[in-house]
Structure 1
Amino acid sequence: MESSKSLNECKCRLAMGRKFVVGGNWKMNGTKQQINEILSFLKAGPLNPDTEVIVGVPAVYLDYVKTNSPANVEVAAQNCYKADKGAFTGELSPIMLKDIGVNWVILGHSERRQIFGESDELIAEKVAFALSNGLKVIACIGETLQEREAGKTEEVVFRQTQAIANKVKDWSNVVIAYEPVWAIGTGKTATPQQAQEVHKALREWIGKNISQDVANSIRIQYGGSVTGTNCKELGSQADIDGFLVGGASLKPEFVTIVNARQ
């Protein structure tokens, strides 16, 4: 009965045209030697051709990974700024990323919010600017443990999404990554049912506050300690359209996660 339900959920998602998408966020990890090892297991795969695969790479290695990654793996920057150029020491612009063939960027990751103090407003401006310059965006949202325990999960993710919605009209090149901050790098993870509840609530909110077409088509990833062990059950949920993976994306286990829907 459970497998039949999962099959029906997958058929529903496919009917909406939502292709499964798995991102690997390498964060501040990797040397050329380590990156070559990662590229080796990505090339060996095999990776599910029905899943879109994107790796988020430290800035210094973007060009190298773009040049050497397999054709079925896209490359993303982990951040970029809201200007073409200028006196912004340490920042990257969308134009620079496009110039080396990088078409994706991760914006609003919880570490950018929590450690570097990026506001909802700044993240929204960066998302809008990246989109206007032809990049595709993984836009991250999510609540802290304190916010979850206070019963504010939906309030937080709706507020963060609303900030982006205030700046963005065309959502066709946006993937939303819901990442419960309390489940990142802690070994904790939301149960598939908990994750599905938030994804479902967010999709319903988008339908009411943005449009039903966007709600039906936008892909919402789950990003909270996804592993090769829990990926299949998480991936079978009706409103989970992929994953944004941290540490596991540095290991061969990432191939298992990419293939969660097979």
Structure 2
Amino acid sequence: MRPKIAAGNWKMNGTAAALTELHSLATGLPDNPPQIVICPPSTLLFRATDATHGSPIQIGAQDCHAEEAGAYTGDISATMVADSGASHVILGHSERRDAHRETDADVQAKAIAAWGAGLTAIICIGESEAERDAGQTLDIIGAQLDGSLPDAVEAGNTVIAYEPIWAIGTGKVPSIAQIKEVHDFIRARLIDRFGAEIGNALPLLYGGSVKAANAVEIFAVENVDGALVGGASLKAEDFAPIVTALAQS
């Protein structure tokens, strides 16, 4: 059975004061909670792992470099992420692909580095609104899967997050039929490439304007194993209902 995962991407938000949200979240979890991964800014990684010690909450980074060390000013390596106590790292988020011009090959190299450091890679894929309107969604998703996933994918080292770019932070949400179409396509593509055992075991998350109000409906979709949540993960009072909805799905 695939794990249910509620992941939160804080993006460039949060200082030390925000760590109180982690305590609030940990004390309000439902019985038998899903796997919870919070990805704060890199400045908070060490303190976040300390703040969640002994709780079900795991900590992840928002990116890592493909190289272990070197003259890469401002970057953080997978080894450094692991050294902070974090267990996961988000890779290939559309904001990185766009603003930092990251390619599928870049994401693949980072995934290999993440695995080498013992991290689980949360690999993001998704189409733009123009690509969706042009009927290219599945072509784009297929190409990103093929290019971003290394051949050594295993169920324990990789999570796939489908985030339609046009739904991130916009309040727009694909229809349930659209979410199902893409997640079913991803599952079939993974099985075709990696075989049924691995392809069926990889968790698939949906991301893009997930809120308490729509979480139950989204989590009822086959092949949706959880969510990668942005703004709604910043406050425990907003994220906790999403976690509860996933636990009950």
Alignment correspondent of 2:214: 230
Is structure 2 residue 160 aligned with structure 1 residue 201? no
Match of 2:61 in 1: 77
Q: 1:123 to 1:48 in 2, by over 3 A?
A: farther
Alignment of 1:17-36 (within 5 A): 17-36=1-20
2:227 corresponds to: 243
Q: Who is 1:41 aligned against?
A: 24
In structure 2, the partner of 1:55 is 38
Residues in 1 aligned to 2:10 and 2:104: alpha-carbon distance in whole angstroms: 23
Q: Is the 8 A contact 1:48 1:258 kept in 2?
A: no
Q: Distance in 2 between matches of 1:226 and 1:170?
A: 27
Q: Deviations over 1:134-168 (max 9, x none)?
A: 11111100001011111111111111110133453
Specify every segment of 5 or more residues in structure 2 that has no aligned partner in the other structure, as ranges: none
Secondary structure of the 1:260 match is helix
Bigger Cα displacement from structure 2, 221-230 vs 191-200? 191-200
Other-structure match for 2:128: 144
Q: How many residues align?
A: 245
- In 2: Cα distance, 1:144 partner to 1:242 partner: 21
Structure 1 CA distance for aligned equivalents of residues 43 and 163 of structure 2: 25
Pairing 1:175-190 to 2, within 5 Å after superposition: 175-190=159-174
Shift of 1:39: 1.7
Stretches (4+) displaced over 4 A: none
Q: Is the 1:128–1:167 contact (alpha carbons within 8 Å) kept by the matching residues of 2? A: no
Identity %: 38
Displacement of 1:209: 2.4
Decide which of 152, 159, 162 is 2:146's aligned counterpart. Answer: 162
Mapped pair 1:219 → 2:183: no
Deviation at 1:132, TM superposition (A): 2.1
Counterpart among 69, 72, 75 of residue 91 in structure 1: 75
Quote the offset at 1:50 in angstroms: 4.0
Deviations 1:6-28 (A, max 9, x none): xxxxxxxxxxx111101000000
Q: Distance in 2 between matches of 1:91 and 1:159?
A: 27
SS in 1 for 2:74: coil
TM-score by length of 1: 0.90
How far residue 133 of structure 1 moved from its aligned partner, in angstroms, is 2.1
Task: Note if contact 2:23-2:51 (Cα within 8 Å) is conserved in structure 1.
Answer: no
Structure-2 residue corresponding to 1:64: 47
Q: For the residues of structure 1 that align with 2:82 and 2:189, how far apart are their CA atoms?
A: 32
CA distance in 1, matches of 2:87, 2:71: 24
Query: Following TM superposition, by how much is the alpha carbon of 1:98 offset from its aligned partner in structure 2, in angstroms?
Result: 1.7
The answer (yes or no) to whether the contact 2:112–2:150 under 8 Å persists in 1 is no
